[in-house]
Copies of this chain bind each other. A is one copy, B any other.
Amino acid sequence: MAEKRRKVGNPLALAVLAEMVIEPMHPYEMGRRLQEHGKDRSIKYNRSSLYMVVEQLVKAGFIAERETVRDTQRPERTVYAITDAGRAELYDWMRELVAEPKQEFPQFGVALSLLAVLSPEEAVTLLQRRLTALTAQLDEVTGLITESTDRGLAWIFLVEEEYRRVMLDAERRLVTDIVQSLQQPEYVRQWHEVMGRHT
């Protein structure tokens, strides 16, 4: 119920645990799979963070070193396996993430909360640029979804892209509405009135 502070908080750690539930693995391999399955579109992936996170997971007792292989060629690879504590952490963390929405701070929210520093006219121009970009992103995601569905990829693996699509669509609608409002003299008058004090 209450939210605990995770010993390892980086979402990449969650992905690592999820990979290791399937089979023991060395870090580089985890990264490779993450990218291969496009998980890096939803989880910020960075190789150095990966090694960091693996180290932290070991310290926390969620994974353990299994063996160090050097198969005649290639650099040395350390293979890790998930522990019982790690499995417990994975499920507990997943449950929390799914069931409890957490306050986040999207960049665009920051921009909107300070929108008043710009002039209404400039805001309109900039928001229209955003609209173009959003439309492009929407097309990209929609394309990816249709293409994957056609290739017979199971629905469960596309739900995160569907999420992205829905959020992009909602944002696009909102931006369109704001642009509309900013073109009505009534709103612009109010803006200038409020901002009159400074600048």
Give the segment of A25-33, A55-63, A64-72, A154-162 that binds chain B. Answer: A154-162
Q: Which one of B18, B101, B106, B130 contacts A108 once the chains associate, using CB atoms below 8 Å?
A: B101
Query: Is A112 an interface position by the 8 A CB rule?
Result: yes
Main secondary structure on chain A at its contact with chain B?
A: helix
In the assembled complex, which residues on chain B have CB atoms less than 8 Å from the CB atom of A157? 116, 194
In the assembled complex, which residues on chain B have CB atoms less than 8 Å from the CB atom of A106? 104, 106, 167
A23 and B127 CA atoms in complex are apart in Å by 28
Question: Are A99 and B174 also in contact (CB < 8 A) when A164-B109, A191-B154 are?
Answer: no
A positions within 8 Å CB-CB of B: 11, 14-15, 18, 21-23, 39, 41-44, 90-91, 94-95, 97-102, 104-118, 122-123, 126-127, 129-130, 133-134, 137, 154-157, 159-160, 162-164, 166-167, 169-171, 173-174, 178, 181, 187, 190-191, 193-194, 198-199
